[in-house]
Amino acid sequence: MDIVDRFIKYARIDTQSDENSTQTPSTQRQFNLAKEVEKEALEMGLSDVSLDNNCYLMATLPANTRKKVPVIGFIAHFDTSPDMSGENVNPRIVKKYDGNDITLNETKKIIMSPADFPELLRHVGEDIIVTDGNTLLGADDKAGIAEIMTAMQYLLDHPEIEHGKIRIGFTPDEEIGRGADKFDVVKFGADWAYTMDGSEVGELEYENFNAASARIEIQGRNVHPGYAKGKMINALHIANELIALLPENERPETTEGYEGFFHLISLNGTVEEARLSYIIRDHDREKFEARKWQMINSVDFLNEKYGNRLKLELKDQYYNMQEKVEPVKHVVDYAFRAMEEVGVKPHIKPIRGGTDGARLSFMGLPCPNIFAGGMNFHGRYEFLPVPSLQKASQVIVKIAELVARDASSPEN
């Protein structure tokens, strides 16, 4: 199956996860894609194909060499972001993009313009897959799944390419931070792996944010506003005070590169009660811990002011994988070399986010992140250049080839 057709087939299947669910997977619809990929894996002849009750799918491409080659893995995730609907996704291919505005939805006058998204201009002349403006596209991470499955089919069709044992794995609920929760690293059995979950072509990442979530509940006191003096305690105003205590120049919209932030992701409530949700991010572990203390101290200050009306739930989510990948830097070097050999310029950069690979690295499976090719994830302006999709799959094949080539060399 052509990689574009494969991706479009996957994209049409709704797999949106749900952060309010306590089940694994958080939505049963993720099984719809999992079962489709399981079927493909069996039909193409992969071995050890297993789909468990938690929607983790694993399979093996057996080695075609007698040499002692490290077992490598490739991982992607089934779910799409809760930030925007993934139902009735209608992908469309813009042929040989000309650098002008793209009308995603004429009826709703939804336009994707290089004036707003200048990265479009890096893909002039290429075929680009876009949405119809009503949903996200789902390249995060259905592009990664398509790339891995297409690479496995290519290696099966080209037995002249020597490779060791390759394990592939697909997870649920990555977008809500639970993708690695029930991933069986021992069962997976790889020496190291790569998540195919990056963005722009050439991206290679082995540094990511340290991450925590903060949920704050505020109990106010509501009385008739005409008789409120000295009695009313407005939970919404306390929420605003908390927001003001955190630095306004340390938010996602004002930071880049290695700069961390506090990100308010939800605020709702009434005079009587209010709830805020934050995510806290920083690449530097000491700065990350300092940010958490800043949140704690801000809540403590308001509790002292208003009489213990705030309740804070603070949870670490994942840590910077650099700590675990640096000691085995050769796994990054293989990806770097593979990109160069297929004509892609590697761009090593920190992830301003996280992947399954971050947590897997701390679970004993070093796992850098490789580009999947999509852009503007999690919204209606998401797009996927076809050459980027194809190159990512070629990188997978080349990594497998390079690892086997090195293992077969005389010095080994």
Catalytically active residues are 79, 174
Q: How far is CA 345 from the centre of its chain?
A: 22
d(C-alpha 315, C-alpha 177), whole Å: 12
Inter-residue contact 239 to 269 (CB < 8 Å):
yes
Which residues are CB-neighbours of 324 under 8 A, at least 6 positions away? 361, 362, 366
Per-residue b or e along 389-410, where b marks 16 or more CB atoms closer than 10 Å to that residue's CB: bbbbbbbbbbbbbbbbbbbeee
Which residues are CB-neighbours of 179 under 8 A, at least 6 positions away? 77, 79, 171, 172, 173, 355, 356, 359
Q: Which candidate, 371, 341, 399, places its Cα nearest to that of 72?
A: 399
Strands (E), 225-356: 261-269, 273-282, 310-318, 347-348
User: Do the bridges between strand 47-51 and strand 92-94 make them parallel or antiparallel, or are there none, so unpaired?
Assistant: unpaired
What length does the chain have? Answer: 412
The secondary structure of residue 208, as a DSSP letter, is B
Handedness of CA 51, 182, 75, 201 (dihedral sign): positive
Q: 41 vs 8, 91, 143, 274, 402, CA distance in Å?
A: 17, 24, 16, 48, 24
Inter-residue contact 21 to 30 (CB < 8 Å):
no
d(C-alpha 5, C-alpha 366), whole Å: 31
